[in-house]
Amino acid sequence: MAWLAQRRVPAACTGSAPHLTTQNPLFLGIDGGGTKCRARLRDASGRLLGEGSGGPANVRLDPALVWRSVLAATRAAAGEAGLTEADWARTYVGMGAAGAGQATSLQQFMTLPHPFAAMAVETDAHTAWLGAFGGKDGAILIIGTGSCGYASVAGARHYVGGWGHEISDEGSGAAIGRDVLRRAIWTRDGRLPGSTLATTILAEFGNSPEALIDWVGSARPGDFARFAPVVLQHAEARDPLALDVIERAAADVSQIALRLLDLGAPALCLFGGLAEPLRPWLPPPVQHAITPPLGDALDGAILLARGLFMEGNDA
């Protein structure tokens, strides 16, 4: 992921270089995750105009599906602002997308046309860092459907993890869900003691391993991640299976965090739906490094969009 530079997507109307307009520009930030896509729209003065959300927007998914999610979130934000699609031609877009570190997936996504003045796509980790530290040294750790660590130190980018749910995304919602399903099967086999959590999980599939396997065959990361809140609830009640799963997830997340700090990051910001729920389970060295972010990933994406506007009009 670290080798990817900022990307420009060709404009829809001609397929050539985007037309850069300076007339009342709008700035749209997109945060594309594995479960949902969020959008935030601001004017040139920084005034918040509207926000919206859409479906999954990991660019490793079907590119057409991702664009539908992006456009749904954009329409919602524009609608809240009282704007129409006619205003998109003066809108500069910065997008931080899960999966954007995979060059082939990003290229497929980038080949599709768009209706905006110009668009820059970066990894969701980069825009989260940009929002959190305003471009200064620091590290971020995203813990949501997937997970990814990112640090920028003395101008150098460092990615830790985030290589996709199949082989990475440790400590994420998808990893927690996959782990608890595996362990629930182990309890059925008698390899682990039974627990309330295992009973709850297996009941979701009619106590049928065959039904669970059929479900797994077509499940996406977000499908696995929906089990994470259930595991956390049972961990608070000291269910032994839940405790084991959450402690393992916290250990995996801590390993990523400590590596980021070892790279020289002076502080760490957490992002994602599981950041706060998992935070109490993290060890003191990680806890002590955590600091509140200056802004969120959408703020970072808007900074990316503003940079695109400035660069285009300086050229």
**What is the distance between the alpha carbons of residues 111 and 88, in angstroms, rounded to a whole number?**
19
Angle at which helix 240-262 crosses helix 228-236, to 10 degrees, equals 110
pLDDT tens for each residue of 193-247 = 999 999 999 999 999 999 999 999 999 999 999 999 999 999 999 999 999 999 9
CA-based nearest residue to 197, from 170, 157, 167, 234: 234
Backbone angles phi, psi at 105, to 5 degrees: -65, -45
**Three-state secondary structure call for residue 75:** helix
214-231 as b/e, with b when 16 or more CB fall inside 10 Å?
eeeeebebbbbbebbebb
Reply yes or no on whether the pLDDT at 18 is more than 60: no
Total-model pTM:
0.83
Q: How far, in Å, CA of 241 to CA of 251, rounded?
A: 16
Going by pLDDT thresholds of 50, 70 and 90, the confidence category of residue 110 is confident
Q: Would you say the C-alpha torsion 75, 24, 11, 62 has a positive or negative sign?
A: negative
Q: Could you give the maximum distance between any two Cα atoms of the chain, in Å? A: 68
Q: Which residue has the higher pLDDT, 5 or 76?
A: 76
Encoded amino acid at 47, one letter? R
- Domains of the chain with CATH codes: 7-134+295-314 (3.30.420.40), 162-289 (3.30.420.40)
Residue with tokens 């994406």: 301
Radius of gyration of the chain (CA): 21
Per-residue pLDDT band for 5 (boundaries 50, 70, 90) equals very low
HSE-CB for 74 with a 13 A CA cutoff: 27
Which of these, 147, 179, 186, lies nearest to 246 by C-alpha position?
179
Question: What's residue 215's pLDDT?
Answer: 97
Spatial distance between the Cα atoms of 11 and 181, rounded to a whole number of angstroms: 44
Specify the DSSP class assigned to residue 11. Answer: B
Report which DSSP code applies to 56.
Answer: -
